[in-house]
Amino acid sequence: MDSFIELYRAGNLMEANAIKGALEQDGILVRLLGEALGGAAGELPIDSQEIRLLVQRCHLDRAGAVLRRYQQNLAPWYCSDCGEQNDGHFEVCWRCGGESGN
């Protein structure tokens, strides 16, 4: 019931902490593993900055949803009405007010 499994591998500590924060806002317990943290020594190559995010198995589905939401918030999207590119944090097109259609 307490087993942690890998949810995601972040390319750097900043990304890992941002995702960790989003998960914790949702009440999901997160563990970070990686060379840059000074923990889990010897598990990863010495030059690796990759950070592994672990969540409890029972939270995996919910954590996956939070992760997808986080990634969608970063990715720009294109308005299906006018074709304008919008930053990920806009919910409607800044130009014509159309919705992303996602």
CB of 69 to Zn ion, least distance (A): 22
In the complex with Zn ion, the residue whose CB is nearer, 40 or 96, is: 96
CB of 87 to Zn ion, least distance (A): 13
CB of 86 to Zn ion, least distance (A): 8
In the complex with Zn ion, the residue whose CB is nearer, 19 or 93, is: 93
Which residues make up the interface to Zn ion (CB under 5 A)?
A: 79, 81-82, 84, 93, 95-96, 98
* Cα–Cα distance for residue pair 87/76, rounded to 1 Å: 5
List, in sequence order, every residue forming a beta bridge with 54; answer none if it has no partner. 6, 31
**Buried-state track 35-56, b at ≥16 Cβ within 10 A, e below 16:** beeeeeeeebeeeeebbbbbbb
